[in-house]
Structures are given as C-alpha cells and as structure tokens.
Structure 1
C-alpha cells in the first residue's frame, strides 16, 4: 500500500464527515417514525419524541390488525406487486433480448420509436379512455397492465445483454442447435442475475408505493391497495388537527389516528426494507454495467 499524502487524508476525512451527515439525515426520519409508532400517541402529538420511544404503546399496531380494510389493502398490494413485477420482468426481457441481437432487422428503428415515448406521451385522459374501452376500470388489471413495461428499463437491460454477455457464447449455442428461446432461457437469463435483480427491485418498489392509478381507476374499496388507505389516514389526521373541537372524544380520535399513521408507515415500508438486503449484492453491479456501458 502506498502512503497517503496529507491532502489525501484531509479529503478522506471530509468525505467521511459528509457521508456521516448524509447518513444521519437519511436515517433520522426512519428512526423517528419507528419510535413514534411504538410510543404513547399523546407524547408524539405534544412533540416529546425526538429519537427514542417514550412510554411504550402498541395502540397503532393493535388498531391496524383490528381494521379489516387495512389488512385487505395489504394483501391487495402484495398481489399487485407480485403479479405486476412478474409481468414487468417478462415484458422487459422479451423486448430487450431481441433488441440486443445484432442480426435483428429494424432494431434501431424500433428502439427509436420506443425511446420517443419517453419524451412524448398521450397523457392521462387518453390513457384513462383506453383503460375504460378495454373494460379494465375497477379491476385488478387496471393497476398492472397500463404500466406493464418501462422503456427506460428495456434500454438498460438491452445494454446489459449487449455489453456483458459475449456474443461468442450465444453463437456456440446456436451452432449446437439451440433456438433463440433456448439461448435466452439457458444462457442469457442465468448470466443476467445482476440486472434481473435490479429490475425486480425497481418494478416491485414502484408497484408497492403506487397509489395514483388506484385513485383513478378503482372505486371498489375491497380492491384498494395499502397506499390508498395510508393516504386516507394521513389526510384524515391532517383534517382532525385542523378541526379544534376540544372534547375528550376528539382528542382520543386524534391520538388513535396519530398512532395508526406511524404504524401503517412502518408496516408499509417493511417489505421493501427486507427485500433490499437480498438483492444488494446484485444491485450495484447491475446498475453500473447497465448504465455505464453502451
């Protein structure tokens, strides 16, 4: 190892300090929400919670498990995420693989047409009319079909296929008698786990946090995702704070709403926080290869 100069050590110290500050800024809201979710709602409303819990209370979690709508929304969100991510991944692979093949005629024209949609789109009203004409209003498919594929992710995956999987391997498999589907299934996909992990993370987080499409296309509360119920809870809590009734029932309702709000935020983000560690080893490699090369 070469000895660092004084200037390098100073720069290293400054970078580490900046990273520490950024880490504190990012982690503090997470710790605060977790602490507030297990603290006495009255202490939270009075601003007595800064970092650590105060007067442990699991009122919010108890109310959540007693609320059938929230549990239904949680299950709905899981289904939307699993099915939507599977469709997204399949569509992205089926679009990216042909575009990565050097002998695919018209791939540049098709790529140009797809990229054009990144800059110009029909907008909300035409999309709504299409969903309506297809009979998907107030249905499960209204939340997964309109966003079945992302052009940006297709470009990233196509670049990965072109830059990270040697063409000689695919040519050898073709000489041995493999069809394009066999090459994709037996060679390309097993070698593409980093970018597949990145796509799973991108798509699943997008589905898990989505609420706008549900707000537009769904009217049946039994089909609402969790994020839509969370939105209602946050709006209701703000309205409760604006209405100053002053009686005991109002204060109790306000405290319960505050406890439920933080508890739902914790539960809503828990699956994403649990998913990331399993994909982390693929994530950085997939993003760097897919974004920098090509």
Structure 2
C-alpha cells in the first residue's frame, strides 16, 4: 500500500477541478459577528482574538478589490500560481443584510483569475435568501462555505460562549441538502474546555448523516487577550498534547467517508507572538506530517472504518 492515497487533500481536490494549483487569497470584508455587536453578546467566543481569528497580513485600509489584487500579485510572482479563491475569513461573513453580503462578494467574484469564493460563517447566521443565492452561484463557480461548528457538544458550546447550539448546526445542514453544488466545510476545534475525547470523536457522525463536503481540523490555540488565556492562567484549561491530537485526528479520518475533502489537519497560529500554548501551535507542517506517518504506521486511510461503524 506504498502509493495509497491516505486522505482526500484539498490541494488534490482543487487540482482535479481546475487542472492546476489554486490558492486562496484572504480578504477582509468588514463583517462583525453576533457575539460582538450585542445580538448574542458583547464579548467574542473565548478562543477568538481581536481580529476574529483572521489573517494579520491583510491591509484592511485597502478595499476588497485591492486586497485581492495585492495578494494575487504576490502569489503570481512568488509561486507562479494563476488561479485563486478570494477567502472571506475574519468574523462572520454572512452576518449582514442580503444586499450588503452580495455586494461584498461580487466585489471580488469576477476579478482576474478568481475561480470561486470561500466564505467563513456559522450555522446560525445564514438567512434563507442568502443561502439560495449561494446555492445558485455554486452552479457556476466553486462556492466554499466554511461553517464554524467547532463542537457537537452543547455544554462545550455554552462554555466557550459560542452563541449557537448543535440544533442550529443540524437545522442548517438539513437546509443545505437542497444545494448539492455548494461545498460546505465543517470547522472543528479539538481541545476545548471540558470536552472529552469521546465527545470530540463523536463529531464524525455529522459527516455520515448530513450534507457536508469538507472538514477543517483545528487544535485549540490559546492566544493572548482571549477568554481562553484566563482559563489557562487559572489552571482550569490544559493545552492539548500533540500526540493526543495526532491520534485523535487519525481516528477521526478513519471514520469519515473518503469523499470528504480535508481542507486542514491542524491550525498554525497566525501570529506566534500572541500564542501562549500549545507550543506546537506555531508549526505549520509538523502536525500534518505526524498524522500522515500515523496513517502509514497503521496501514490505514480516510474512511477505512466507515462501513464497520455504521
């Protein structure tokens, strides 16, 4: 099984669809979220920093078009990439009225070399009219909806002040079944306060029961000036260990169908100076390399156990 494809990589998915490498260009659309503007609270989720977990290299003084064009220029010159996906990452990028959302998306949709769009959001903040729009758009372009599920344990969602429930997630996923071309990616964070290994692993059932096309795995990175920092300093929260994380993600991969696209195996802290723990959160490739080695060690692959656990 030396040449076996161990898991369904996002880079392979893009290359198969577009015939060449495609890179995301992160843009800041100027959105906020219901945890900050008072609708569901005035403080962010406990893990979230002042940039809403967004990329710090973005020049937010530029308009959307020029944010994209600047990123495009750098990637074309440095990596010889010719196709790109504008990525609305920071905060909740469907949290505005319908016309505002559409105007911001369409500001970048048809810029040079843009072949799709990626939109970061959460399951309780996508109105039906906007979902219809994105579903229609997905027939023409790749539309990736990055869905911040984070956990499938209500107790944990309440502790981290997420502001939505597992019921909200399932409600959205049921609606999304109407849009087969929409590429929906679940974000999951492992290592959240009080969540057990069993509870984390049980999240795999979403991929068996509902409309999901991809997954982003994140370890909990404890950042300065966040609610998680306070829990960590008080001794109430311990950072997740690398070995534990590697084995957990490997177990998870074995339990989800191979059709699920793996967008990310771990989350590197965007700014190392704000990372408190875990120390390995500053590494980009080390966790994914260890996960791949663990799959090889087990002589395993994504989806291996799906039929056995159904």
Fold-level similarity (TM above 0.5): no
In proportion to residue count, which structure has more helix? 1
Q: Which has the higher contact order (CA 8 A, sep 6+)?
A: 1
Query: What TM-score, normalized by structure 1, do the two folds share?
Result: 0.23
In proportion to residue count, which structure has more strand? 2
Q: Which has the larger radius of gyration?
A: 1
Query: What TM-score, normalized by structure 2, do the two folds share?
Result: 0.22
